[in-house]
Amino acid sequence: MPKWLENAVFYEIYPQSYYDSNGDGIGDLQGIIEKLPYIKELGCNALWINPIYDSPFMDAGYDVRDHKKVAPRYGTLDDVKELLSTAHDMGIKVLFDLVPGHTSDQNEWFLQSKKAEKNDYTDTYIFTKSVWDAPPQYRLMCGICERDGNYLVNYFSSQPALNYGFYDITHPAWQMPSDCDAAKNTVELIKDIMRYWMDLGVDGFRVDMADSLVKNDDEKIATSKIWAGIREMMDKDYPECALVSEWCNPQRSINDGGFHMDFYLDHYGNGYSTLFRYLVDGENKSFFSDSAKGDLSTFLSEYNVNYPATKDNGYICFMTNNHDMPRATFYMSEEMIKLSHTFMMTMPGVPFVYYGDEIGMRYQTDLVSKEGGFSRTGSRTPMQWDSSKNLGFSTADESKLYLPVDKSDDAPTVENNIGRKGSIYENLKTLIALRHEYEDLRNGSDFELVHAEKGDNLFIYKRGEFTVYFNVSKEKKEVKLKNVGEIVFMLGDYEINGETLILDGRNAVIIKG
Ligand code: GLC
Ligand code: CA
């Protein structure tokens, strides 16, 4: 296990929208390099950058055309090297995005695979035996290539699934077992790409749709086995590199697959969703919501099982948001966001901050879909730096921007957040600093539930010698003090009266000792 993960706080960058260094309207690698001091100042010491590879951008780069080539719009391989060395000099690790399940339909491997004559890539993707063979339970693209067969896609139509074989073989005419040579060869192709970037200095990968590899593998037995093999390679040759999975099943991902980290994703009605984003018939029923109508039961029923089962092997990752879902501001007020950050930065695991969430950027509605973003587009708009042209994102004409910037008069920016007492930014920065200062608040001690009862809007837990108290309701609440010590953090006012802590509404307090 790489030691640096223990104290890592990640920052996710959607490169298109971070900072445009050359005025062509789209963010780029030099732009990220320029903003590293800003990221460092916030307290983040690791980055996850969404795909920067050559791509036709039918899915914002998750459709990779050439895994070893940098998309010219972001820069060159030299820019990658400069980014890595600059970041490393500043103590910042860099994870790239690995898309192992599929490629673009313009990838050279696929162009070979769809040819009629047999070649080295014939079995790199999944084709049915003939074009008349199209079982409806599979997502197949039919009748569009020279080769007599239909191919399986993973996500959009332009993303053919790579062949890692099938666990349950239901159509033996074309489904191969997951331990066949062709499937093993696909694993080698992916390992080769991983090695390429790690040899250049990349510190690991966020793995896209990590559970998608082997088909008809409901229990993910064969898929986990592939990842366990990849973890062996990492331990042997890249022991300081890390993998985080887009999976949301830590027992499978971490324990079976050997991932160092697994994301707690927003799946409607699950623990993450009911904490932050649970809309029921338009009404917000999440725990961290202004309506204060939620509770912690779903979250705790998952976490109390998954956390103890995986804590010795890896980390569960809380994220403020990512590029696939509406921004937190769509669900929560500024006050509630600050409470949610207090939670995320004081839980075990490794937290991830999505660019712009540190200043409360808003989810933009009514945007035309960009590069396969659809409803996700509104969370992918340019970073808002200051009050200058295009909010400091780019000097290009507005019409040339990758996506429009937030046009509201009161658009949050870095400039109007920094130094303002009580801003989301200042609050998050304080919390990250506490996490770096105290081992107990990160992974040095266990999560111990002290209080969570349906309906009272309170949440109290211990982390070693610290106790974290939340009151998410509007009203003042009294709780029994668990520890009398130094107040290291507070969001609002509180009073201590003997053994009682009186918390103002929408408040969080952290007490040490
Ligand atoms: C993941 C990515 C998402 C992408 C999809 C297909 O969910 O986060 O952005 O569209 O995989 O690769
Ligand atoms: Ca640019």
Report the CATH number that the domain containing residue 487 is assigned in CATH: 2.60.40.1180
Atom of ligand 1 nearest to the CA of 372: 10
Residue 268 buriedness (CB in 10 A; 0-12 / 13-18 / 19+): exposed
Per-residue pLDDT reduced to its tens digit, 111-161: 999 999 999 999 999 999 999 999 999 999 999 999 999 999 999 999 999
- How far does residue 21's CA lie from ligand 2's centre (Å)? 5
Q: Which ligand is nearest to the CA of 14?
A: 1
* Digit-coded pLDDT (tens) for 315-351: 999 999 999 999 999 999 999 999 999 999 999 999 9
Which residues have C-beta within 8 Å of that of residue 342, sequence separation ≥ 6?
A: 427, 431, 468, 470, 489, 491, 508, 510
Q: Atom 9, ligand 1: which residue's CA is nearest?
A: 324
Q: What does DSSP assign to residue 506?
A: S
Contact 155 CB / ligand 1 (< 6 Å) = yes
Asked if 236 and 298 sit in the same domain, the reply is yes
266 lines ligand 1 (CB under 6 A): no
Is the CB–ligand 1 distance for residue 209 below 6 Å? yes
| Assigned domain for 171 exists | no
Please report the DSSP string for 20-54 in residue order: -SSSSSS--HHHHHHHHHHHHHHT--EEEE---EE
Ligand 2 mean position to 14 CA, how many Å?
A: 13
| Residues 288 and 316 grouped into a single domain | yes
Mean pLDDT, the chain, integer: 98
Q: Do 123 and 216 have their domain in common?
A: no
Are residues 256 and 323 both part of a single domain?
Answer: yes
For atom 3 of ligand 1, which residue has the closest CA? 324
The verdict on 375 and 463 lying in the same domain is no
Q: Which of 410, 437, 464 is the last residue of a domain?
A: 437
Model confidence at 34, pLDDT cuts 50, 70, 90, reads very high
Q: How many domains does the chain have?
A: 3
> Helix, strand or coil for residue 325?
coil
| CATH number of domain containing 189 | 3.20.20.80
Kindly state whether residue 172 falls inside one of the protein's structural domains. no
With CA atoms as reference, report the closest residue to 4 among 110, 106, 69, 87.
Answer: 87
- Ligand with an atom nearest the CA of residue 379: 1
Distance (Å) from CA 25 to ligand 2 centroid: 6
Look up tokens 């040819």; give the residue.
Answer: 115
User: What distance in angstroms lies between residue 384's CA and the mean position of ligand 2's atoms?
Assistant: 16
Inside any domain, residue 442: no
* pLDDT at 482 exceeding the cut of 90: no
Percentage above 90 pLDDT, the chain: 99
Say yes or no: CB of residue 87 within 6 Å of ligand 1: no
pLDDT score at 227: 99
**Last residue in a domain, options 388, 418, 437:** 437
Question: Do residue 325 and residue 429 come from a single domain?
Answer: yes
Half-sphere exposure (Cβ direction) of 43: Cα atoms closer than 13 Å: 20
**Nearest ligand 1 atom to alpha carbon 155:** 6
* pLDDT beyond 90 at 484: no
Cβ(208) – ligand 1 distance below 6 Å: yes
How far is residue 230's CA from residue 259's CA, in Å, rounded to a whole number? 9
Same domain? For 30 and 94 the reply is yes
Whether residues 59 and 143 share a domain: the answer is no
Residue 72 predicted with pLDDT over 90: yes
198 lines ligand 1 (CB under 6 A): no
Atom of ligand 1 nearest to the CA of 376: 9
124: containing domain: 102-161
Q: From the CB of 324, is ligand 1 less than 6 Å away? A: yes
Which residue out of 14, 53, 62 has the highest number of ligand 1 atoms within 8 Å of its CB and is therefore the one to mutate?
62
Shared domain for 77 and 137, answered yes or no, is no
Q: Are residues 195 and 251 in the same domain?
A: yes
Helices 181-200 and 77-89, axial angle in degrees (round to 10): 60
Ligand nearest the Cα atom of residue 101: 1
- Whether 61 maps to a domain, the answer reads yes
In-domain check, residue 120: yes
From the alpha carbon of 62, which atom of ligand 1 is closest?
12
Distance (Å) from CA 170 to ligand 2 centroid? 48
Instruction: Tell me which of 208, 354, 375 to substitute to probe ligand 1's pocket, judged by most ligand atoms within 8 Å of the beta carbon.
Output: 208
Tell me which of 414, 437, 460 is where a domain ends: 437
175 domain-assigned: no
Least reliable range by pLDDT among 10-14, 291-295, 351-355? 291-295
Average pLDDT over residues 436-453: 97
In a domain, 347, yes or no: yes
Q: What is the pLDDT of residue 107?
A: 99
> Exposure of 407 by Cβ count < 10 A (0-12 exposed, 13-18 middle, 19+ buried)?
exposed
Which ligand approaches the C-alpha of residue 75 most closely? 2
Whole-angstrom Cα distance, residue 6 to residue 439? Answer: 9
pLDDT confidence of residue 4: 98
Ligand that comes closest to the CA of residue 59 = 1
pLDDT at 210 over 90: yes
Which ligand lies nearest to the CA atom of residue 263 in the structure? Answer: 1
Residue found by looking up tokens 């079982």 in the block = 135
What does the pLDDT read at residue 465? 96
- Ligand 1, atom 4: nearest CA belongs to which residue? 62
Cα distances from 368 to residues 328, 377, 404, 440, in angstroms, run: 20, 8, 10, 45
Residue 227's identity, in one-letter code, is: W
For residue 208, report the distance from its CA to the centre of ligand 1, in Å.
6
Ligand 1 mean position, distance from CA 209 (Å):
7
263: Cβ below 6 Å to ligand 1?
A: no
Distance 479 CA to ligand 2 centre (A): 53
Ion ligand 2: residues, Cβ under 5 Å: 20, 22, 24, 26, 28
63 close to ligand 1 (CB < 6 Angstrom): no
What separation in Å is there between the alpha carbon of 52 and the centre of ligand 1? 14
Q: What is the reported pLDDT for 483?
A: 83
Residue 393 and residue 377 share a domain? yes
CB–CB of 116/148 below 8 Å?
yes
144: domain CATH number is 3.90.400.10
pLDDT in tens, 92-113: 999 999 999 999 999 999 999 9
Kindly identify the ligand whose nearest atom is closest to the C-alpha of 28.
2
Q: Let me know whether 268 and 316 are in one domain.
A: yes
Residue 167 maps to a domain: no
